Amino acid sequence: MRIKTDYIGDYQGSLPAQCGICLEEEPSKDLLLQTICCSNVAKKIIPRIYHRVCLKEWASKQSSNLFPCIYRCGKSISKSELFSRIDRTKQLLFSPLAKKLFKQTTTTSITLILGLLPAAILIKDKDLSDFENNTKVVGLASILGLGLSMMTCRLLYKMEKVPLKINEYSLLSAIASIPPTLIYYTSMKVIGLIGRYKLMNMV
Ligand SMILES: [Zn+2]
Ligand SMILES: [Zn+2]
């Protein structure tokens, strides 16, 4: 089982120190940080030294919220200890997982439109004109959109095994729910307008 590291922070040791990633000797303490996830056979803790930039770059390549120790000691470091909240949100939004998610919501949206087309034909003209002004449509659209995207999110996260925090999960779900919701709502509006147009021509 992977265990989270208990410490990641400013470098405390002597200078210059070698970065564990680019292997360069760094004379400035400000540019370094250390993790103490590793230990030797006698269970003595070994601080690992990295350039802040090097470790961040390496960590951001990992799609998971946890990234394994570079020295493969078996422990994983949480990105939240390395990045600010804004940094992590940006990473999340531009991650391969998010791209996949948005692709999925596009598919969902298209399926939704295709499903609505028969409805436009089947529903009676009079019902349609009422439908347009019905506030229930907005509510239904939101629930449907959010439900679909949450389901998609869940499936994707299960597949990718990404241990996302609940607020990150909610954020992605909420963002992903926008396109299907808008499309559903717009489609309903259009159907309503068609219905009203037909009704007006009948009178
Ligand atoms: Zn480095
Ligand atoms: Zn380690």
- What secondary structure letter does DSSP report for 61? T
**Which helix (H) or strand (E) segment is 47 a member of?**
strand 45-51
Contact 39, 73 (CB under 8 A): yes
Ligand nearest to the CA of 57: 1
Paired tokens of 47 = 């601080």
**Residue 40 Cα to ligand 1 middle (Å):** 23
Q: What is the pLDDT of residues 48-89, one digit of tens each?
A: 999 999 998 888 887 777 888 888 888 888 887 787 777 767
Is the pLDDT score of 15 beyond 60?
yes
Span from the CA of 13 to the centroid of ligand 2 (angstroms): 17
132, with CB counted inside 10 A (0-12, 13-18, 19+), is middle
Which ligand does the CA of 53 lie closest to?
Answer: 1
- Is pLDDT at 20 greater than 90 in this prediction? yes
* DSSP code per residue over 9-45: EE--S-SSEE-TTT--EE--GGGEEEEEEEE-TT--E
Domain regions of the chain by residue span: 8-83, 89-202
155-190 pLDDT, tens per residue?
666 665 555 566 666 676 677 667 767 776 777 777
Q: Are 80 and 167 in contact (CB under 8 A)?
A: no
* CA–CA dist 52, 32 (Å, integer): 5
Å from CA of 174 to ligand 1 middle: 37
Range from 2-6, 71-75, 93-97, 142-146 carrying the lowest mean pLDDT: 2-6
Count of CB atoms situated within 10 Å of the CB of 38: 19
Q: Separation of 25 CA from ligand 1 center, angstroms?
A: 8
| 3-class DSSP state of 84 | coil
Has domain 8-83 been given CATH number 1.10.1740?
no
State residue 16's pLDDT score.
Answer: 93
Distance 85 CA to ligand 2 centre (A): 24
